[in-house]
Amino acid sequence: MDRPDFPGLVRFLVEPFLDSPDSLRIDCEENAAQAKVWIRIAFSGDERGKVFGRGGRNIQAIRTIVRATASLSGWSAYVDVYGASEQDNGSDRRSRSPSPRSHSKPRPQLRPKT
């Protein structure tokens, strides 16, 4: 079986989460001898929350699909997400202020109606 189109698969899975799909950058590095592929994706930093989803569920699902597709073809795949794309003008994530959630109070537990 041929190697899957990893960039196309990742684009298909990630673009629906992005408001500006043009910001998506995908880089694939392959090692055909070991049947491994490393996929690096980057996009506009303000869309990071949408791609990752609550608790990282979206990105974990994307990684699972890519790994399963690779496995069916006898490959191993690894997906890394970079914090900024070229459109962020090379800004460093560390220079941004912490997210407001890091200092917020925990949400109260909802009680079931009786």
Instruction: Say whether pTM exceeds 0.85.
Output: no
Q: Quick one: pLDDT at residue 30?
A: 93
| pLDDT tens figures, 17-44 | 999 999 999 999 999 899 999 999 999 8
| pLDDT tens figures, 49-96 | 999 999 999 999 999 999 999 999 999 999 999 864 343 333 343 334
Q: Quick one: pLDDT at residue 46?
A: 85
Opening angle at CA 26, ends 21 and 30, nearest 5: 160
Q: Quick one: pLDDT at residue 45?
A: 83
Residue ranges per structural domain of the chain: 6-85
27 compared with 1, residue with greater pLDDT: 27
Q: Quick one: pLDDT at residue 87?
A: 38
Measured in degrees and rounded to the nearest 5, phi and psi for residue 38 equal: -110, 125
The label of the residue with tokens 């490959």 reads: 75
- Cα distance between residue 75 and residue 35, in whole Å: 5
108 compared with 5, residue with greater pLDDT: 5
Q: Which CATH superfamily is domain 6-85 in?
A: K homology (KH) domain (3.30.300.20)
Residues 43, 16 contacting (CB under 8 angstroms): no
Q: Quick one: pLDDT at residue 51?
A: 93
Count CA within 13 A, CB hemisphere, residue 68: 6
